Protein backbone atom coordinates (compact mmCIF):
# COMPACT_ATOMS: atom_id res chain seq x y z
CA UNK A 1 0.00 0.00 0.00
CA UNK A 2 1.28 3.47 -0.82
CA UNK A 3 0.16 4.89 2.48
CA UNK A 4 -2.16 7.83 2.99
CA UNK A 5 -2.13 10.01 -0.09
CA UNK A 6 -2.92 13.70 0.05
CA UNK A 7 -3.25 16.18 -2.74
CA UNK A 8 -2.16 18.74 -3.55
CA UNK A 9 1.15 18.88 -1.64
CA UNK A 10 1.19 22.65 -1.86
CA UNK A 11 -1.59 25.13 -2.48
CA UNK A 12 -1.34 28.88 -2.76
CA UNK A 13 -4.59 30.73 -3.11
CA UNK A 14 -5.99 34.19 -2.72
CA UNK A 15 -8.16 35.19 0.15
CA UNK A 16 -11.81 34.50 -0.56
CA UNK A 17 -11.18 31.60 -2.88
CA UNK A 18 -12.45 28.08 -2.27
CA UNK A 19 -9.86 25.46 -1.41
CA UNK A 20 -10.36 21.71 -1.54
CA UNK A 21 -7.90 19.30 0.01
CA UNK A 22 -8.07 15.64 -0.84
CA UNK A 23 -7.17 12.44 0.95
CA UNK A 24 -7.02 8.76 0.10
CA UNK A 25 -6.70 6.68 3.27
CA UNK A 26 -5.03 3.32 3.55
CA UNK A 27 -7.30 0.60 2.25
CA UNK A 28 -9.14 -1.21 5.02
CA UNK A 29 -8.73 1.48 7.65
CA UNK A 30 -11.85 2.30 9.62
CA UNK A 31 -10.96 5.77 10.81
CA UNK A 32 -9.97 8.91 8.97
CA UNK A 33 -8.73 12.06 10.66
CA UNK A 34 -8.07 15.59 9.47
CA UNK A 35 -5.50 17.58 11.46
CA UNK A 36 -4.11 21.05 11.05
CA UNK A 37 -0.60 22.02 12.10
CA UNK A 38 0.65 25.53 12.78
CA UNK A 39 3.59 26.88 14.72
CA UNK A 40 1.29 28.62 17.15
CA UNK A 41 -1.20 25.87 17.86
CA UNK A 42 0.62 22.67 16.98
CA UNK A 43 -1.36 19.67 15.75
CA UNK A 44 -5.09 20.18 16.10
CA UNK A 45 -7.80 17.70 15.27
CA UNK A 46 -10.38 19.16 12.92
CA UNK A 47 -12.71 16.22 12.33
CA UNK A 48 -12.70 12.46 12.19
CA UNK A 49 -14.77 9.80 10.50
CA UNK A 50 -15.57 6.20 11.36
CA UNK A 51 -16.68 4.05 8.45
CA UNK A 52 -17.29 7.20 6.40
CA UNK A 53 -19.53 8.77 9.05
CA UNK A 54 -18.40 12.02 10.73
CA UNK A 55 -18.05 11.37 14.45
CA UNK A 56 -16.55 14.50 15.93
CA UNK A 57 -16.29 17.81 14.10
CA UNK A 58 -15.86 19.96 17.20
CA UNK A 59 -12.41 20.96 16.01
CA UNK A 60 -13.64 22.52 12.79
CA UNK A 61 -12.92 26.20 13.38
CA UNK A 62 -15.80 27.78 11.55
CA UNK A 63 -18.62 27.17 9.14
CA UNK A 64 -16.19 28.01 6.39
CA UNK A 65 -14.71 24.56 6.91
CA UNK A 66 -16.47 21.40 5.78
CA UNK A 67 -15.39 17.80 5.30
CA UNK A 68 -16.90 14.88 3.50
CA UNK A 69 -16.16 11.20 3.08
CA UNK A 70 -18.35 9.93 0.27
CA UNK A 71 -16.73 6.49 0.34
CA UNK A 72 -14.11 4.49 2.18
CA UNK A 73 -11.32 5.53 -0.14
CA UNK A 74 -11.76 9.28 -0.39
CA UNK A 75 -12.25 12.33 1.77
CA UNK A 76 -12.18 16.07 1.17
CA UNK A 77 -11.68 19.08 3.37
CA UNK A 78 -13.07 22.28 1.93
CA UNK A 79 -12.52 25.86 3.01
CA UNK A 80 -14.87 28.45 1.54
CA UNK A 81 -14.04 31.29 1.60
CA UNK A 82 -10.39 30.95 2.58
CA UNK A 83 -8.64 33.50 4.80
CA UNK A 84 -4.94 34.17 5.48
CA UNK A 85 -5.26 32.72 8.98
CA UNK A 86 -6.15 29.37 7.42
CA UNK A 87 -2.57 29.06 6.24
CA UNK A 88 -1.18 25.86 7.75
CA UNK A 89 -0.21 22.30 6.94
CA UNK A 90 -3.25 20.06 6.79
CA UNK A 91 -2.76 16.38 7.47
CA UNK A 92 -4.99 13.46 6.79
CA UNK A 93 -4.47 10.26 8.76
CA UNK A 94 -6.15 6.88 8.91
CA UNK A 95 -6.14 3.93 11.29
CA UNK A 96 -7.72 0.59 12.08
CA UNK A 97 -10.40 0.40 14.72
CA UNK A 98 -8.24 -2.07 16.65
CA UNK A 99 -5.32 0.37 16.84
CA UNK A 100 -6.69 3.89 17.07
CA UNK A 101 -3.43 5.27 18.32
CA UNK A 102 -1.40 3.98 15.43
CA UNK A 103 -2.55 6.51 12.90
CA UNK A 104 -0.79 6.67 9.56
CA UNK A 105 -0.35 10.21 8.35
CA UNK A 106 -0.10 11.53 4.84
CA UNK A 107 2.60 13.94 3.73
CA UNK A 108 0.30 16.88 4.31
CA UNK A 109 -0.90 19.78 2.22
CA UNK A 110 0.80 23.10 2.85
CA UNK A 111 -1.82 25.77 2.34
CA UNK A 112 -0.90 29.41 1.92
CA UNK A 113 -3.67 31.97 1.65
CA UNK A 114 -2.48 35.38 0.50
CA UNK B 1 -2.08 18.25 24.93
CA UNK B 2 -1.78 21.97 25.10
CA UNK B 3 -1.53 24.66 22.52
CA UNK B 4 2.00 25.26 21.37
CA UNK B 5 3.89 28.51 21.46
CA UNK B 6 6.28 29.80 18.88
CA UNK B 7 9.29 27.94 20.19
CA UNK B 8 9.62 24.21 20.59
CA UNK B 9 11.82 22.97 23.42
CA UNK B 10 14.96 21.53 21.94
CA UNK B 11 17.10 18.65 23.11
CA UNK B 12 20.57 18.49 21.65
CA UNK B 13 22.57 15.29 22.06
CA UNK B 14 25.73 13.76 20.68
CA UNK B 15 25.50 10.85 18.32
CA UNK B 16 25.70 7.62 20.28
CA UNK B 17 24.34 9.10 23.50
CA UNK B 18 20.97 8.20 24.94
CA UNK B 19 18.12 10.70 24.63
CA UNK B 20 15.23 11.24 26.98
CA UNK B 21 12.24 13.25 25.85
CA UNK B 22 9.61 14.14 28.40
CA UNK B 23 5.92 14.87 28.23
CA UNK B 24 3.40 15.91 30.85
CA UNK B 25 -0.30 15.33 30.44
CA UNK B 26 -3.21 16.80 32.33
CA UNK B 27 -6.15 14.50 31.70
CA UNK B 28 -6.46 11.94 34.50
CA UNK B 29 -8.83 9.92 32.35
CA UNK B 30 -6.23 9.38 29.65
CA UNK B 31 -5.46 5.69 29.38
CA UNK B 32 -3.56 5.38 26.15
CA UNK B 33 -0.39 7.20 25.18
CA UNK B 34 1.58 7.29 21.99
CA UNK B 35 4.81 8.80 20.75
CA UNK B 36 5.13 10.16 17.24
CA UNK B 37 8.16 11.33 15.29
CA UNK B 38 7.91 14.06 12.69
CA UNK B 39 10.75 14.73 10.30
CA UNK B 40 10.95 17.96 8.38
CA UNK B 41 8.43 18.12 5.56
CA UNK B 42 6.72 14.88 6.53
CA UNK B 43 3.70 13.76 8.47
CA UNK B 44 4.00 12.36 12.00
CA UNK B 45 5.05 8.74 12.22
CA UNK B 46 4.02 6.31 14.95
CA UNK B 47 6.89 5.15 17.17
CA UNK B 48 5.49 3.33 20.17
CA UNK B 49 2.44 3.25 22.41
CA UNK B 50 1.62 2.29 25.98
CA UNK B 51 -1.60 1.66 27.85
CA UNK B 52 -2.28 2.91 31.34
CA UNK B 53 -2.08 -0.58 32.85
CA UNK B 54 1.64 -0.61 32.05
CA UNK B 55 4.48 1.58 33.24
CA UNK B 56 7.11 0.58 30.71
CA UNK B 57 7.23 -0.68 27.18
CA UNK B 58 10.22 -1.33 24.98
CA UNK B 59 10.69 -1.29 21.26
CA UNK B 60 13.68 -1.26 19.02
CA UNK B 61 16.08 1.28 20.59
CA UNK B 62 13.12 3.05 22.20
CA UNK B 63 11.52 2.74 25.61
CA UNK B 64 8.44 4.52 26.86
CA UNK B 65 7.93 5.07 30.58
CA UNK B 66 4.62 6.08 32.10
CA UNK B 67 4.19 7.55 35.56
CA UNK B 68 0.47 7.96 36.16
CA UNK B 69 0.97 9.37 39.64
CA UNK B 70 2.58 12.52 38.31
CA UNK B 71 1.04 12.31 34.84
CA UNK B 72 4.36 12.03 33.12
CA UNK B 73 5.47 10.18 30.03
CA UNK B 74 8.99 9.81 28.64
CA UNK B 75 10.58 8.45 25.53
CA UNK B 76 14.08 7.08 25.77
CA UNK B 77 16.12 6.58 22.61
CA UNK B 78 19.24 4.47 22.97
CA UNK B 79 22.38 5.18 20.97
CA UNK B 80 20.87 8.19 19.25
CA UNK B 81 21.63 8.47 15.55
CA UNK B 82 21.53 11.45 13.16
CA UNK B 83 18.40 9.93 11.62
CA UNK B 84 16.65 10.40 14.95
CA UNK B 85 16.72 14.16 14.50
CA UNK B 86 13.10 15.22 14.34
CA UNK B 87 10.26 16.67 16.40
CA UNK B 88 8.76 14.19 18.83
CA UNK B 89 5.16 14.43 19.99
CA UNK B 90 3.38 12.62 22.74
CA UNK B 91 -0.32 12.01 22.22
CA UNK B 92 -3.09 10.77 24.46
CA UNK B 93 -6.52 9.27 24.26
CA UNK B 94 -9.21 8.26 26.70
CA UNK B 95 -11.52 5.33 26.10
CA UNK B 96 -13.94 6.74 28.66
CA UNK B 97 -14.91 9.53 26.32
CA UNK B 98 -15.38 7.16 23.44
CA UNK B 99 -13.33 9.58 21.42
CA UNK B 100 -10.96 7.77 19.14
CA UNK B 101 -8.93 10.74 18.00
CA UNK B 102 -5.66 11.64 19.62
CA UNK B 103 -4.75 14.83 21.42
CA UNK B 104 -1.19 15.83 20.66
CA UNK B 105 1.26 17.63 22.88
CA UNK B 106 3.36 20.54 21.75
CA UNK B 107 6.43 18.59 20.71
CA UNK B 108 10.16 18.51 21.43
CA UNK B 109 12.81 19.00 18.82
CA UNK B 110 15.68 16.50 19.01
CA UNK B 111 18.94 17.57 17.40
CA UNK B 112 21.64 14.94 17.08
CA UNK B 113 25.16 16.29 16.73
CA UNK B 114 27.53 14.06 14.75
List pLDDT tens digits, range B67-99. 999 999 999 999 999 999 999 999 998 765 666
Share of chain B above pLDDT 90, in %: 73
| A46 has a pLDDT exceeding 80 | yes
CB-CB neighbors (< 8 A) of B100 in chain A: 31, 48, 50, 55, 97, 100
Q: What is the pLDDT of residue B6?
A: 45
pLDDT band at A54 (very low <50, low <70, confident <90, very high): very high
Average pLDDT over residues A76-80: 98
pLDDT band at B31 (very low <50, low <70, confident <90, very high): confident
- Is B107 touching A (CB cutoff 8 A)? yes
CB contact under 8 A, A104 and B46: yes
Q: What is the pLDDT of residue A52?
A: 96
Average pLDDT over residues A89-95: 97
**Helix, strand, or coil here: B92?**
strand
Question: How far apart, in Å, are the Cα atoms of B60 and each of A12, B33, B47?
Answer: 40, 18, 10
Q: How many CB pairs lie under 8 A apart between chains A and B? A: 66
Q: What integer best gives the mean pLDDT of chain A?
A: 94
B112 vs B12: CA distance, rounded Å = 6
- Put simply, the chain A residues between 68 and 97 with a CB less than 8 A from any chain B CB are 91, 93, 97
- Sheet strand arrangement including B19-24: B19-24, B72-77, B62-67, B56-58
pLDDT band at B2 (very low <50, low <70, confident <90, very high): very low
Average pLDDT over residues B7-20: 93
Closest CB to B100 among A39, A100, A105: A100
A93 vs A86: CA distance, rounded Å = 19
CB contact under 8 A, A41 and B89: no
Average pLDDT over residues B58-64: 96
Quote the DSSP letter at residue A80: S
Q: What is the pLDDT of residue A101?
A: 79
A15 vs A12: CA distance, rounded Å = 10
Amino acid sequence: DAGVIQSPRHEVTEMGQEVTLRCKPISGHDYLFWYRQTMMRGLELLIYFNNNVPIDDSGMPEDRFSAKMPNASFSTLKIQPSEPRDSAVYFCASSWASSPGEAFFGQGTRLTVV
Amino acid sequence: GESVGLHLPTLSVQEGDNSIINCAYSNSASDYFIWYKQESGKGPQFIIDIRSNMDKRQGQRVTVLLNKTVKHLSLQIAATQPGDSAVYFCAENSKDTGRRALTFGSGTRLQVQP
